[in-house]
Amino acid sequence: MGGRDNDNHTESQLPQVLVLRQPGCWTVLESNYSHKFNFLKAWDFPLPQDQFLAGHAGSVQALLSSSIGPRITANILRMLPSLKVIVTTSAGLDHVDLPKCRERGVVVASAPKVHTQDVADLAVGLFLDVMRKISAGDRYVKDRLWASRGEFSLASKIGGKRVGIVGLGNIGLEVAKRLEAFGCSILYNSRKEKPFVPYPFYSNICELALNSDALIICCALTAETHHMINNKVLLALGRDGIIVNVGRGAIIDEKEMVQRLVKGEIGGAGLDVFENEPQVPNELFPLDNVVLSPHNGPCTPEYFMDLCELVAGNLAAFFSNRPLISPALDN
């Protein structure tokens, strides 16, 4: 295909990249790389999606995707017979039909490490917030309750807490490193035991919960991890146990978690992801022991710049017949 980085190319000469919905990094990506790629923005066209895809079926080889949708289903792949590569802005790939991609010979590039530091920071921030009641204390002061009601309720000490990390991948390891600095003991559950880490491994998620003061969810959403954190796990975590989720909402059985929180059967939660985003269960809003974040884990200016560089690098590699920079492990 050859390199096509000449800034003097007309839009029609640039490599075409189909974008069905704006990813979070879109503003940076478009402003920095529209001179290198012709982004076909579905939202700029009044046609229904099927008609729009049909109009580009014979020409589009590259598709830019993200975890916020739409899902890249077998039907979308069928309507794009010329598609050769999907570049996604997320680390997780639960929004892409990977078996159908393999069947069709469509390669997938993901962003597995760009977001690691920022998501780990937020996971620890949510944990600290829930344990030390930072947001709850902020509301207490701003609602002028300090003067009328007196001293605020006691928070929990961080040092010495046993933190079970579910998914000891890139993010999980960074969370562990940060929490060790606070004097926490780290335990973990992953698909396989990792012989190179010094933390106790629990193959059974209920046993991990039973031996932890808090669970921090860092794993990917798969068929195996869907609703992995169920009622049994939550009850094993116990009345004082905290749960933090920076993975995907559906890893937790959200209805069960909400019931356990409302009934006081678990101690609290810090949640950046939800099962039906952007819808959040109303029952969580009045709870002072719950801290909510709008799926904002990696969202920093530095992250968006690094992510756009990786996305553009993967697209440039594809159109130059070079190996992808960050091919998904499932390719």
Active-site residues: which are they?
Answer: 248, 277, 295
Tokens of 150: 């007196």
| Nearby residues of 181 by Cβ (< 8 Å), 6 or more positions away | none
How, if at all, do strands 162-166 and 214-217 pair? parallel
| Nearby residues of 148 by Cβ (< 8 Å), 6 or more positions away | none
* HEC per residue, the chain: CCCCCCCCCCHHHCCEEEECCCCCCHHHHHHHHCCCCEEEEHHHCCCCHHHHHHHHCCCCCEEEECCCCCCECHHHHHHCCCCCEEEECCCCCCCECHHHHHHHCCEEECCCCCCHHHHHHHHHHHHHHHHHCHHHHHHHHHCCHHHHHCCCCCCCCCCCCEEEEECCCHHHHHHHHHHHHCCCEEEEECCCCCCCCCCCECCCHHHHHHCCCEEEECCCCCCCCCCCECHHHHHHHCCCCEEEECCCHHHECHHHHHHHHHCCCCCEEEECCCCECCECCHHHCCCCCEEECCCCCCCCHHHHHHHHHHHHHHHHHHHCCCCCCCECCCC
* Torsion from C-alpha of 262, 266, 270, 275, nearest 10 degrees: -60
CA distance 265 to 315: 48
